[in-house]
């Protein structure tokens, strides 16, 4: 199964595509789509849309995973801006008829690192180990996207008895 994890952001959208069969995980593709705050929002959203659309068309994932939205009362604008990028991702799921899965960050961290309050460093270390990489993926947007994809494969494979 191919799973595309996405860490949506208006400045940086991280993505990670993982393939897994229940026993082995393989990194297929990972990276970021960057936009500039100097650009109009419509251009930024189009860049995210086009970049992810190209990925989906080339690799044909079966599922797309996002982290459930979290809003801190001190930073509501951050959630609103992330919501724009998140909306683009949801639209792509509709366009390509992809399964859309949302996990809380604590679910993803528990699945990857064994505890729901794991640090970014712990999650990155486990992503590195689980994918057999030489170093932790960077930036953290990529690590988070990969962790989401791995978390979904773990959840799916649990239900299949792997």
Residue 145's SS3 state is helix
Alpha helices in 13-162 (DSSP H): 41-59, 76-95, 105-113, 120-131, 140-160
Active site amino acids: 7, 67, 141
Q: What is the distance between the alpha carbons of residues 89 and 100, in angstroms, rounded to a whole number?
A: 9
The CA-to-CA distance between both ends of the chain, in Å, stands at 14
User: Residue holding tokens 């996207």?
Assistant: 145
The tokens describing 23, both together, are 């026993």
Greatest Cα pair distance in the chain: 49
Question: 33, 14, 11: which is closest to 140 by C-alpha?
Answer: 14
| Rounded-to-integer distance, Cα 34 and Cα 43, Å | 12
């Amino acid at each position: 199964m191919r799973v595309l994890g996405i860490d949506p952001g208006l400045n940086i959208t991280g993505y990670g595509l993982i393939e897994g069969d229940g026993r082995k995980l393989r990194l297929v593709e990972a990276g970021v789509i960057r936009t500039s705050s100097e650009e109009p929002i419509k251009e930024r959203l189009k860049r995210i849309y086009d970049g992810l659309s190209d990925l989906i068309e080339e690799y044909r994932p079966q599922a797309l995973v996002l982290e459930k939205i979290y809003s801190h009362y001190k930073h509501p604008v951050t959630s609103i801006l992330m919501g724009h990028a998140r909306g683009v991702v949801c639209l792509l799921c509709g366009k390509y008829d992809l399964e859309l899965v949302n996990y809380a960050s604590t679910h993803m961290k528990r699945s990857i690192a064994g505890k729901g309050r794991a640090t970014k460093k712990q999650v990155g270390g486990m992503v590195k180990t689980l994918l057999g990489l030489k170093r932790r993926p960077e930036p953290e947007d990529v690590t988070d996207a990969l962790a989401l994809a791995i978390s979904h494969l773990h959840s799916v494979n649990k239900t299949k008895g792997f």
